[in-house]
Structure 1
Amino acid sequence: MDTRFPFVDWFRNSSPYINAHRGRTFVILIEGEALVQGRGEQLIQDLALLHTLGVRLVVVLGIRPQVQQALVGAGITPRRHQGRWVADEAIMAEVERVAAEQRLWLEARLSLGLPNTPLHGVEMTVVSGNLVMAKPLGVRDGIDFHRSGEVRRVREAAIRGLLDQGSLVLLPPLGYSSTGEVFDLDAAEVARHTATALGADKLILLGEASGLLDEAGRLRRQLTPAEAEPRLAGAPAGGELARHLGAACAAARHGVARTHLLSWQDHDALLGELFTRDGVGTMITQHRYEQLRRAEIDDVGGLLELLEPLERRGMLVPRSRERLEYEIDDYVVIERDGMVIGCAALHTFGDARMGELACVAVHGDYRGGARGDLLLGEVERLARQRGLEALFALTTHTAHWFFEHGFRQAELADLPPLKRDTYNHARQSKVLIKSLA
């Protein structure tokens, strides 16, 4: 295969996602550390690309490190409580100044259209304003938070109108009250409330961490809110983990389809998460994007694509589209983000109280994740549900896998009569049986 242009294959494989994301609404939080560490230019290019591809963008801009630097320069030591600054008038003056500077810088970079720059020929209208209404945190544990606030509501209709006009909406972590005051807000809270109010398709939180890790240090690709929330218990108040994970779980529980935890330190994180099947970070969602389920007639095309390489290598008996359509009710599949990546079939021989475990297949890119075990477990469950006493399988290549899962070698005479009569002697498949007792 010609590999002179590896990006071509990536581009071809990303086309389903380009189509799926067009017209969708994404709320993206960029923490201030990303800009301090020089990642702003790359992220701006990625935002411009998403805009060009038809994604409706709301960008929430964090400014914590820039404000901290400004406070140090001004000789101000902020008081903290419950993970938040106590924003008195002196601190709030720095917050407002830094927010204005960062907003203007980002607007200027998104207006850059010189030749030989990534945004050449791309016209983007960036709009900010009093789009987030806020209220004061008030007095808590005897401490007056002054102008530290929390989101009261997001002006959803106004933001939708701006998105409908093709604008990119930029939200600094500031909120406005009906009495004309400005409040310091947590950027993750702004992002969460905005995504929820808009019913956004995605909430993307770009922080220092690449996602959530398990006990062995491996990245967790997908979690439900119920699975993720226990991690909040030991997270320091006001820290990135608490802020981002809290926002992600709340958004998922309130209608945001998918929330992604990504690292701005990974230059490929944003596009890699959005335009590849497996992504690069952790996704929090109420609805699993990999699921085991009964097959449907619309899965036939995916089954043919999954089985063809195995049939070509002689590991499976070829199955026609017509046969798959006829037997579709016998199949279970593992679907990952719209793609069939695994399957198995249970053909029932009721008179013999036996079932055939057939057509066990897992896509080559997804082996090693116990998906074969998952398929076998589901077939065994269905077999017991139907009152079957044993499973049998015919195999030429993978007898060891069946032995590891409780099958024993048997004889042709042990098969149900109908299967025995249609046995293909040319293939010389091994006969394996497992009791379900």
Structure 2
Amino acid sequence: MSLVFPHTFVPWFRAVAPYIHAYRGETFVVGMPGELVAAGKLNAFVQDLAIVHAMGIKIVLVHGFRPQVNEQLAAKGQKPQYSHGIRVTDAVALDCAQEAAGQLRFEIEAAFSQGLPNTPMANATVRVVSGNFLTARPVGIVDGVDFQHSGLVRKVDGAAIQRAIDTGAIVLLSPFGFSPTGEAFNLQMEDVATSTAIALQADKLLFVCEAAGVPENPQDPDGGIDTELTLADARRLLAGRSGPVEPTDAAFYLRHCVRACEAGVERSHILPFAVDGALLQEVYTHDGIGTMVVDEKLESLREATPDDVGGIVALIEPFERDGTLVKRDRNEIERDVEAYTVIEHDGVIFGCAALYPYVEARTAEMAALTVSAEVQGQGDGDRILKRVEQRAKAMGLSSIFVLTTRTMHWFIKRGFQPVDPEWLPEERKRKYNWDRRSQVLVKKLA
């Protein structure tokens, strides 16, 4: 019998609660390559999907079948053919794709039907709905290569899928589409998932794939992962790539994330199926496990300019009045405006924070973290914090600290630890207001 420790379980459960509330009723489209199944990860992945579904999230699951089709081809003495990064689907390959799809659908539906005691599927009732939701068109002949039965998504019946997920079912899509004449086409899982997310205007598109995410340093693919990319940054990364890329390369999925964000899907994710529970970590933890591509057209997260001084003053003034923030005069803000990060929506500043480095001590103070009362609880504070952390890392700093009298729990939940004021850099310690008795909290930067 496993033991549950309240001192760890309770804080953890409380920490994920805001994400449970935030995502309830939202729609996620999840792309799952056939390699996940081949790696023996299906049952654990389905259990995690069932948990996410039980939390009130509407799920569309799109499966791929590259290795399964290749296995069927090998059994028939055939070799897979690819061009321009797309499978050339002749009559034999089409038969193999249909066989592989049927077998995979059976395995996936069986996994969702399990209900063994002492597993995450116990007491779960998950209905899986499939159907002819996709209309396809042929790839045709490209640079002299006839792709035969390979196709592209022409249309997704978003209304029918929406009706199905609104009933509480999970919709399962195979990478097959049909022409108006009834001809079958082999599609790419990534194209199907992206087109479906766009048709539904899904809240998230998630690829749980071979790639760990987008490397922070493209020259060092084994280094850290860039946990968040703006749409503009993702475009720039892809502009530096040429030719087809393999599915093990994050760029293979990044181009689909960009396409989705450009068409109105606000968040797209690349996360590794090699990490157990990657889906849960990405959805229900602050930092996630993979790379998220964010469309910032809706909400500009950026460094402040002199034109923002008035908006910053108006934002923080109510919090200065009630004592949450220390009073700052306009001249001080004008002088330090380049230290501020702001969130702006339709020309109005809804959030800000300032970063004051102490380079010799390899730390920096984050001050005046403020989110308008109109939008609190929507994650803007987390987005500002993440951007400030990125700025501090870029300066080569190893930690950031805050002084607060009222919001210590918010910071502790995000990885800050309380320390004695004597910890402060000497320069900052001299300015510490001992009468105010602010709590000093420090976060180490990975």
The change in CA–CA distance for 1:328 and 1:236 in structure 2 (over 3 A counts) is: farther
Q: CA deviation at 1:107?
A: 0.8
TM-score (norm 2): 0.70
The change in CA–CA distance for 1:116 and 1:80 in structure 2 (over 3 A counts) is: same
Bigger Rg over Cα: 1
Aligned pairs, how many? 358
For structure 1, the residue ranges without an aligned partner over 5 or more in a row are 304-318, 346-357, 375-394, 403-408, 413-422, 428-437
Please give the secondary structure, in 2, of the residue aligned with 1:54: coil
- Please name the residue that 1:431 is paired with: none
Q: CA deviation at 1:226?
A: 2.4
Q: CA deviation at 1:370?
A: 3.5
- Please name the residue that 2:82 is paired with: 80
* In 1: Cα distance, 2:205 partner to 2:37 partner: 19
- Please name the residue that 2:410 is paired with: none
- Please name the residue that 1:228 is paired with: 234
1:370 and 2:362 aligned: no
- Please name the residue that 2:50 is paired with: 48
Deviations 1:299-344 (A, max 9, x none): 799x7xxxxxxxxxxxxxxx77247498698875667xxx989447
The change in CA–CA distance for 1:12 and 1:211 in structure 2 (over 3 A counts) is: same
* In 1: Cα distance, 2:394 partner to 2:277 partner: 33
The change in CA–CA distance for 1:11 and 1:324 in structure 2 (over 3 A counts) is: same
Say which of 262, 265, 274 aligns to 1:256.
Answer: 265
Q: CA deviation at 1:8?
A: 2.4
Say which of 360, 363, 366 aligns to 2:367.
Answer: 360
Q: CA deviation at 1:81?
A: 1.2
Q: CA deviation at 1:400?
A: 4.7
What does 1:279-298 align with in structure 2 at a 5 Å threshold? 279-287=288-296, 295=312
1:266 and 2:266 aligned: no
Contact 2:60 2:171 (C-alpha < 8 Å) held by counterparts: yes
* In 2: Cα distance, 1:227 partner to 1:326 partner: 36
* In 2: Cα distance, 1:372 partner to 1:93 partner: 52
The change in CA–CA distance for 1:119 and 1:145 in structure 2 (over 3 A counts) is: same
Say which of 234, 246, 267 aligns to 1:239.
Answer: 246
Say which of 425, 429, 445 aligns to 1:398.
Answer: 425
* In 1: Cα distance, 2:192 partner to 2:161 partner: 13
The change in CA–CA distance for 1:4 and 1:130 in structure 2 (over 3 A counts) is: same
1:211 and 2:220 aligned: no
> Which letter maps to 1:239?
E
Deviations 1:197-216 (A, max 9, x none): 11000000111111111225
1:64 and 2:90 aligned: no
Please give the secondary structure, in 2, of the residue aligned with 1:59: strand
Please give the secondary structure, in 2, of the residue aligned with 1:110: helix
* In 2: Cα distance, 1:242 partner to 1:260 partner: 12
Please give the secondary structure, in 1, of the residue aligned with 2:113: coil
TM-score (norm 1): 0.72
The change in CA–CA distance for 1:359 and 1:207 in structure 2 (over 3 A counts) is: closer
Contact 1:134 1:177 (C-alpha < 8 Å) held by counterparts: yes
Larger mean CA deviation between 241-250 and 85-94 belongs to 241-250
- Please name the residue that 1:145 is paired with: 147
Contact 2:315 2:351 (C-alpha < 8 Å) held by counterparts: no
The change in CA–CA distance for 1:186 and 1:327 in structure 2 (over 3 A counts) is: same
Percent identity between the two aligned chains: 34
* In 2: Cα distance, 1:180 partner to 1:231 partner: 39
Deviations 1:221-251 (A, max 9, x none): 1112321234334365152234311100100
Q: CA deviation at 1:82?
A: 0.9
The change in CA–CA distance for 1:72 and 1:231 in structure 2 (over 3 A counts) is: farther
> Which letter maps to 2:391?
A
> Which letter maps to 1:225?
L
> Which letter maps to 1:86?
V
* In 2: Cα distance, 1:426 partner to 1:86 partner: 74
The change in CA–CA distance for 1:162 and 1:289 in structure 2 (over 3 A counts) is: farther
* In 1: Cα distance, 2:285 partner to 2:44 partner: 19
Cα root mean square deviation, aligned: 3.8
The change in CA–CA distance for 1:106 and 1:424 in structure 2 (over 3 A counts) is: closer
For structure 2, the residue ranges without an aligned partner over 5 or more in a row are 305-310, 334-339, 344-349, 357-364, 370-380, 396-420, 437-446
- Please name the residue that 1:416 is paired with: none
Q: CA deviation at 1:5?
A: 4.6
Q: CA deviation at 1:188?
A: 0.4
